[in-house]
Amino acid sequence: HKLEALEACDEVDPEARELGAVNTVRFDADATRGWNTDGPGFAAAVEEEFSVALGDLSVAILGAGGGAGMAIATFCALRGSPRIVLANRTVEKLAPLADRLRALAPCSEIVTVPMDPDVLTIELAKCGLIANATSLGMKETDPAVLPADCIPAGCFVYDAIYQPAVTRLLADAAAKGCRTANGLAMLLHQGVLAFRIWFPGTEPIEHMRSGLASTR
């Protein structure tokens, strides 16, 4: 319903407009205003987990054709990531997104690829960050989102899934010496950003961090 939420708002934050969706709405006396915390939450999580700015990384997004993948890809473009690799089972689905990103970030190289191991091995070797935006890994019976042989040693690997805490992708990446992180930090920062929008002047991050820690 994020697209419908965008259309229902009187005013939309410019980044949410670029992302094409709204997930946080505030009902003010004079207007209904909308924001999107997906992209900013992802960027904040990457910077917290890996101590590097998103705009300094070439990024590969697995499942870029879905809603979460599109939001992550768009925010990478907004932050100026030099190279953005969009991977999806149906590569044709990526064409509109790729065109939009090229217009949004003309200095970024935008590449679209299928989820083909041979192609991914070549493309991922050029990336500093791999982000999984698919749902593969939530169940023990799920197939691997990416063969372990495709993961370049020493890169950063981020999985938007936070339950289980260590997915097969993260385990395979850690075994190759990669720094890894799950989606809990993104969930945290999305919540913090939304709370600040609803209650300006508040600083809830440590309370929310403690709350998440208590649920593990």
pLDDT tens for each residue of 163-177: 999 999 999 999 999
Mean pLDDT of all residues in 17-23: 89
The predicted pLDDT at position 204 comes to 80
31 with 11: CB under 8 angstroms? yes
**pLDDT confidence tier of residue 78, bands split at 50, 70 and 90:** very high
The predicted pLDDT at position 150 comes to 97
Helices (H), 85-156: 95-104, 117-124
What does the DSSP assignment read for 88-153? ESSGGGGHHHHHHHHHH-TTSEEEEEES-HHHHHHHHTT-SEEEE-SSTTSSTTSPPSS-GGGSPT
Please name each of the domains of the chain with its CATH number.
2-37+189-208 (3.40.50.10860), 39-184 (3.40.50.720)
Pair of tokens at residue 148: 């372990």
Mean pLDDT of all residues in 176-193: 95
Task: Check pLDDT > 80 for residue 192.
Answer: yes
**pLDDT confidence tier of residue 103, bands split at 50, 70 and 90:** very high
User: In whole angstroms, what is the distance from residue 13 CA to residue 35 CA?
Assistant: 5
pLDDT for 115-160, tens place per residue?
999 999 999 999 999 999 999 999 989 999 999 999 999 999 999 9
Tokens 């939009």 found at: 100
113 with 123: CB under 8 angstroms? yes
User: In whole angstroms, what is the distance from residue 128 CA to residue 72 CA?
Assistant: 15
Mean pLDDT of all residues in 20-26: 93
Active-site hit among 2, 93, 126, 176: 2
Summary mean pLDDT of the chain: 94
Q: What is the pTM of this model?
A: 0.91
The predicted pLDDT at position 216 comes to 64
Task: Check pLDDT > 80 for residue 214.
Answer: no
Confirm whether 126 is a catalytic residue.
no
